[in-house]
Amino acid sequence: MANGKVTGWRRIIRAFGFSMQGFKSCYQLEEAFRQEVWALILLVPLGLWLGETPLERAMLVCSLLIVPIVELLNSAIEANVDRVGLERHELSGRAKDIASAAVFLSIAFAAAIWGLLLIPKWM
């Protein structure tokens, strides 16, 4: 909730705390997010090792970071839809499906970047 009385560093610190609460709740409640975090823990060091140039390393790592970012947005959309009502509704299902498609595309994007950068090195 917006609080116009909190400004400057206090606002930044509070915003950081809210962000950490969001990470914590998503990690606790969303299996997909937990899987993506563990994949990051394994793949980020691998991307840093396999990339030959700073640009390659950045592309490998950043393509991975997009996946949990999109998953956080997907989880937020799902939570909002569920908050409105648990009954089946075409628009609710569409919103969840579209958010899920965004997660799929982020994973496909990361896979494409890794493939385009690494497969030519092994051929």
Q: Which residues are catalytic?
A: 71
Model pTM score? 0.87
pLDDT along the chain (123 residues), means of 10: 78 95 95 96 97 96 97 94 82 91 98 96 84
Tokens describing residue 116: 């385009």
pLDDT value of residue 121: 86
Q: Give me the DSSP letters along 60-73.
A: HHHHHHHHHHHHHH
- With beta carbons less than 8 A apart as the criterion, state whether 78 and 99 touch: yes
Domains in the chain, please, with CATH? 30-122 (1.10.287.3610)
